[in-house]
Structure 1
Amino acid sequence: MTEQDLDGLGPVDFLVIEFPAGHSTFTGEIAEELLNLVEAGTIRLIDAIVLTKDGDGVVDAMELSDAGELGALVELEAQLAELLAAEDVANLANAMDPGSVAGVLVYENVWAAPFASAARRAGGRLIADGRIPIQDIIASLEADEELEETGA
């Protein structure tokens, strides 16, 4: 990428979505929603891999093309930058439970690129970011609701 390309880059995030042993029901819905995000210009997929961790903790990383039938994802797979290194894979796999499968996505938040570029041109720099897991939000809302109901 050129310096000009990098100047226009939006924030880049990654997700690791784990599917515990015996709890995955892949129907193609995930791929369809990912394609919808790309086609809408919300994100640009930079890298995607599938990780498996056996019962002994041995990890195998596969590029999308090695993971089986890609369907409509075949178009995206050809454009991936393959940014993740072996060390990244090892670090990400540490969070996985034995016997699970995980999808790893690295993506640019295209929707935020104009804002990010403007902030950089104004001399700003990102010094922290984060994400609140939806499970934590649900737990917090449920706790607030119970507090209201009990008055305690």
Structure 2
Amino acid sequence: MSELEYGPVEFVLVGFSGEAPDPGVVDAVRELVADGAVRIIDAILLTRNLDGDIETIEIEDASAAYGLEEADLDLSGLAADEDIEYFAESLEPGTSAELLVVELLWAKKLASRLAASGGAVLASERIPAPIVNEVVALARAE
């Protein structure tokens, strides 16, 4: 079997107050892309105005303004309307978020090798960084 064209993909919703992400967040995403850890294959800016209405902007239409000018948005539109609606539900009025569709490039080779050998990932669960850090701090304090 040949190498898979794409590795595992995750939706990541990055929230912030106001209408644009903090420059530090933009820089962090740029670094991950530049380092080859991830590829951003779709991105949508979601804003819930004070009336509760959701506005969306496909980032490919304004990629430089959101730090994604180097992103490979060749699958722009991969996030379906249903996905966008699902993630938009969590936004409070007056807040915004970037919905990133992120390919985990570090896992692509593993996924290809598993597929070639008849293996499969049976489970995967992400533990948020604040929880990991809290548990480690508690363990070190004992």
Q: Considering the TM-score relative to the shorter chain, is it more than 0.5?
A: yes
Question: Match for residue 17 of structure 1?
Answer: 14
Q: Which moved more, 1:106-115 or 1:124-133?
A: 124-133
- Within the alignment, does 1:26 sit opposite 2:22 as a pair? yes
Cα offset for 1:80?
Answer: 4.6
Amino acid aligned to 2:52: G
- Taking the aligned partners of 1:25 and 1:73, their CA distance within structure 2 comes to 12
Describe how 1:78-97 pairs up with structure 2 within 5 A: 79-97=74-92
- Taking the aligned partners of 1:40 and 1:68, their CA distance within structure 2 comes to 19
Pick the structure with greater CA Rg.
1
- Identity of paired residues, percent? 32
Bigger proportion of residues as helix: 1
RMSD over aligned CA atoms reads: 2.9
Distance 1:48 1:118, change over 3 A: same
- Within the alignment, does 1:129 sit opposite 2:124 as a pair? yes
Query: Does the residue aligned with 1:124 lie in a helix, a strand or coil?
Result: coil
- Among residues 105, 117, 121, which one is paired with 1:110 in the alignment? 105
Q: Which moved more, 1:126-135 or 1:70-79?
A: 70-79
TM-score norm. by structure 1 comes to 0.74
Distance 1:97 1:45, change over 3 A: same
Distance 1:71 1:8, change over 3 A: closer
- Taking the aligned partners of 2:60 and 2:50, their CA distance within structure 1 comes to 24
Distance 1:72 1:102, change over 3 A: closer
Amino acid aligned to 2:78: L
TM-score norm. by structure 2 comes to 0.79
Distance 1:81 1:132, change over 3 A: same
- Taking the aligned partners of 1:47 and 1:41, their CA distance within structure 2 comes to 16
Bigger proportion of residues as strand: 2
Give unmatched runs, 5+ long, in structure 2.
none
Residues 30-86 of structure 1 show CA distances to partners (whole Å, capped at 9, x for unaligned) of 333322222222111111111111233321111125558527633426645321111
Residues 102-132 of structure 1 show CA distances to partners (whole Å, capped at 9, x for unaligned) of 1111111111111111111111223332211
Give unmatched runs, 5+ long, in structure 1.
none
